[in-house]
Chains A and B, each alone.
Chain A
Amino acid sequence: MNEPFSSGNKITKRDGVIQAAEAMLTKLGSDDTVSLVCFDSKAYEEVCGVRASEASAALSSIRQHSGSTNFEEAFSVTEGLLSRLNHPSQRVIFLTDGKANAGSIETAQRLNQQIASQGVTVDCFGVGDDYNHNLMCEFVAVSNGEAQKLDTPEQAAGLFIKAVNNAQQALIRNAVLRLFVPEAMRDVEFYQITPQQHDHGTPEGTINNMRVFRVNLSSLTQMNIYNFVLRTSLDTPPAGGPANALLAKAVLEYDVPVMGLRSQKSECSMFASFSSHPHEEEVRTDVDELYFTATLERLDREVHKFAQIGDWGRVSGLLQEMCERAQQIRREDLYNQYQRDLKTLVSEGKLTQAQLNMNRKTTSQAQSQLGIKEASPGQVEGVSHEW
């Protein structure tokens, strides 16, 4: 944490993080609290549930240690701390500049899931070039958090403040989405696309001839829209058969602590309709583009998997496929990123962790702009409907 925050930046990572945290403290309300856990080979609870004014001095306890990086200890102490806090909304900001080299990642992931199951959202921020952004994406996927790469102290401050805003506007808690897809549907793929892209395509089981896909959304903020895409194949009925068929049913269960409500439910059934006349078919290419962009998430995860074992031939093939897909959806920004990596791979024979991180960040946030809510007068409240 004593190295420059980024190349060309004089401020150290440690000081940049402290500056960002101080900026964040100014946005906390009078009833909000902050806690601080510092970790190296062990984790230390510095302050627990104090007001912003009391927390500022504690930031200096972010010391400069040498030693190992132990995510397991960090999540273990954090989970213990959370059990003593009782806010309607709680958010963890996990920050590292390196890879875990002590403790068990599997145990850290289990503890992270336990934290998520309590309705707490975990954001993971990486600073520098050495941390593993793919692992950060895996951590945040279980609680609907955000994985971010911190490039400058100013950007870090902005992201810390955004995390506080998200926490202050998270009035829906313990939100779990279940998507029920009839077994008659084939080749099912299911992705979340905002606030970040995640592949949720592995069903948790089957109930009443429906595959069930589960997403722990943890908390829903007032400012975000949570977008998903489902892709499936079906056989349409013979002429004279039913005029429509159920594609999927989304069921969201959640609590609203500010209203004292628990186990609320909101549902939406999605139907495909059929016609006798081919010219009547309605096509929306924008929906398919959302899907094709989301599939980059699956490919990018594969890139990381094969990069970790040094199979650069497979990485090259995947990057070529990602380039083609980015061209197909006319996403020049994504195409340029993947093409740059491909060229580096050809010339250098491998990609650095920093290049892999940049790629991962670009892909996971490829559709993030769709998740920001705009005022839309005329929306029907409390009703599920087709646009």
Chain B
Amino acid sequence: MSEEIIINYKLGRNKIQFGRRNEAVTAHFSIETSPEFVRQHPETNCGVILVVTQVGQ
């Protein structure tokens, strides 16, 4: 398991009764970098490319 990434999840419903049909369930999950990774590697160098229209309307 990687140490850079945390994936969490939670469900809208859980412990649903046995023997039920067509039960709607929602799952919410999130992905983020771990605090330790952020602490060790706060930034990197980058290239920004600005692409701009020059047409008058």
Contacts and interface: CB of A to CB of B under 8 A. Distances in A.
Verify that A and B bind, or say they do not: yes
Q: Label chain A's interface by main secondary structure.
A: mixed
Given A169-B42, A239-B19, A95 B10 contact: no
Contacts of B13: 272, 281-284
- How big is the A interface, by class? 35 or more
- How big is the B interface, by class? 35 or more
Contact of A171 (B44, B48, B51, B53): B44
A299 interface: no
B30 to A, nearest CB: 5
A236 B18 contact: yes
Interface stretch (A221-229, A304-312, A313-321, A335-343): A221-229
A262 interface: no
A34 interface: yes
B15 to A, nearest CB: 4
Nearest to A68: B55
A349 to B, nearest CB: 25
A196 to B, nearest CB: 15
B36 A64 contact: no
Interface of A: 1-3, 14, 17, 21, 24, 28-29, 31-40, 43, 49, 62-69, 74-75, 78, 81-82, 85, 87-98, 128, 130, 163-164, 167-172, 177, 186-187, 217, 220-222, 224-241, 247-248, 250, 252, 254, 256-259, 264-268, 270, 272-278, 280-285, 287-288, 290-291, 373, 375-376, 379-387
